[in-house]
Amino acid sequence: MPIRSGIQAPDFSLPDESNTPRRLSDFLGRPVVLYFYPKDDTTGCTTEACGFRDDYSAYVNADLVVLGVSPDSLNRMPNSRKNTPCHFHSCG
């Protein structure tokens, strides 16, 4: 289901790849690109993450925050980060 740009998401708190709690409200006042992916280290999700990684400087230049959200356990995330290093936070 597509969601229109500019729709305000409800606040949430999830641990990131280093087990640091990240709240959406931590980025209040800044535009956030919030994307969801079903599983770390899979072909489709890695391709999606690489797209954000490869265009990361454009997001930074536009003062956008990129957050990836996955239902995976935190145990999977560090391995995924080794295989696909990213400059943004993944939460799960």
What is the number of other CB atoms lying within 10 angstroms of the CB of residue 88? 19
Catalytic residue among 45, 50, 86, 91: 45
Cα(73)–Cα(56) distance, integer angstroms = 24
Give the length of the chain: 92
How does residue 61 score in pLDDT terms, banded at 50, 70 and 90? very high
Q: Please report the sign of the dihedral spanned by the C-alpha atoms of residue 67, residue 69, residue 75, residue 81.
A: negative
Tell me which of 38-47, 48-57, 78-87 is least confident: 78-87
For the whole model, what pTM was predicted? Answer: 0.66
User: Quick check: is 45 catalytic?
Assistant: yes
12 has which bridge partners? none
Helix (H) or strand (E) holding 77: helix 76-83
| CB 40 within 8 Å of CB 70 | yes
Q: What's the mean per-residue pLDDT of the chain?
A: 75
